[in-house]
Amino acid sequence: MSVESSSTSVAVTDGQSKNFRKPKYSRFSQQELDAWQPILTPSWAISIFTVIGLIFIPVGLASLFASESVVEVPFRYDDECLPPDYKDDALEYIQNDNINKTCTRNLTIKNKMKAPIYVYYQLGNFYQNHRRYVKSRDDKQLRNKASENDVGSCSPEDYTSTELGHKPIVPCGIIAWSLFNDTYRISSNNKDLVINKKNIAWKSDQLAKFGSDVYPKNFQIGGLIGGARLNESIPLSEQEDLIVWMRTAALPTFRKLYGKIETDIEVNEEVMLVIENNYNTYEFGGRKSLVLSTTTWVGGRNHFLGMAYILIGGVSLLLAVGFLLLYVMQPRPLGDPSYLSWNRNPGSLR
């Protein structure tokens, strides 16, 4: 038999280089790469739940314990320090410079507080995260002496009024302008507990964001005084209160570090707080508190983290047990193809 095929009218293949366009074989191009193909078997699910439970509960307990060991003494003083005569006219009280704002209170510390004890002020209903507020600063000006005239988006606290010569304000913007100006003194047995106000700001801020050659200028000299005044002879990088204040808080209730007390406070020790209640939170109904707190490795007192860990861990363990029970009781009712949607409505395949 001849191998040569008769040429009917069917076209013959061109004799060009055969298999020229053949795709190269590789496991990659053929989508046959080695792959880990885990499927969520009951044993996997049960072990994962168990592992989560076993890890989470101890972690939760540990952090709950840590948080529990923190001693926190909050003292809300916005109404406490409002003299009874001014109960109905808090604004008059706070806005009148002639009224003495000093407020003295005794506080019994129920647990022993070990140094360092952190002193915070806590403001409520204060929107430091408002977009207008957050934007109202100028990083260049804060950093460089050369950019003193740079007031960017600081309006309306950018220049002093025309009567005062329309000079740039350093530091400009409403964040700096509304700087918190209550002051605290704490004493125990007539002995001052020294509040150390050094090293309360982030180092990076002091080094990179606030210039050591930039001095406050024309600050708080306009008609409307916001908050604290700044000592014009101290460079901004040393004005730690300002630096702390200018790291805007994330939420409308926030604490800011006021200082540290580096001596212990004993159990049932009575401390005397002397508060200069200057800052106007009455206008917007904000709360003001003074908080003394120690810290541990998780930070301050907040049980949420520990509780959440325990909750999630507990739920996982329950799920693991539940699955185990289902697995034991119903070894395999599972893969019944009648669950498939196209088996459920038989008409669909016609």
Cβ-based neighbours of 324, under 8 Å, separated by 6 or more: 46
In what helix (H) or strand (E) does residue 311 lie, and over which residues does it extend? helix 304-329
> Residues near 248 by Cβ (< 8 Å), separated by ≥ 6?
128, 129, 133, 134, 175
Please say which residue, 123 or 273, places its beta carbon nearer to another protein.
Answer: 123
CA distance 71 to 294: 6
Our CB check for another protein shows the closer of 84 and 333 to be: 333
CB of 124 to another protein, least distance (A): 9
Nearer CB in complex with another protein: 257/271: 257
Least Å distance, CB 253 to another protein, is 6
Shortest distance in whole angstroms from residue 222 CB to another protein: 11
Return contacts of 196-201, CB within 8 angstroms, 24+ apart.
Answer: 196/259, 196/260, 196/261, 196/262, 197/240, 197/241, 197/258, 197/259, 198/240, 199/240, 199/260, 200/240, 200/241, 200/244, 200/257, 200/258, 200/259, 200/260, 201/240, 201/243, 201/244, 201/247
* Rounded distance between C-alpha atoms, residue 178 and residue 298, angstroms: 31
Nearer to another protein, 28 or 98 (CB): 28
- Quick one: 22 or 191, whose CB is closer to another protein? 22
Query: Hey, what amino acid is at 267?
Result: V
Q: Which of 259, 114, 246, 262 is nearest to 200 (CA)?
A: 259
Check: CB of residue 86 under 8 Å from CB of residue 93.
yes
If the CB atoms of residues 131 and 191 are measured against another protein, the closer one turns out to be 131
- The Cα 258–Cα 273 span in angstroms is 14
Beta strands in 58-101 (DSSP E): 72-76
CB atoms within 10 A of CB 41: 10
C-beta closer to another protein: residue 83 or 299: 299
Query: CB of 233: closest distance to another protein in angstroms?
Result: 25
The residue (of 272 and 308) whose beta carbon lies closer to another protein is: 308
In the bound complex, what is the minimum distance in angstroms from residue 35's beta carbon to another protein? 5
Residues 53, 310: Cα–Cα separation, whole Å: 8
Which tokens belong to 155?
């309006």
> In whole angstroms, what is the distance from residue 335 CA to residue 333 CA?
6
Least distance in Å: CB of 286 to another protein?
Answer: 9
In the complex with another protein, the residue whose CB is nearer, 272 or 305, is 305
- The DSSP bridge pattern shows strands 195-196 and 288-293 to be unpaired
Closest CB 251 distance from another protein, rounded Å: 5
> Least Å distance between CB 341 and another protein?
6
Q: How far is the CB of 145 from another protein (least distance, A)?
A: 15
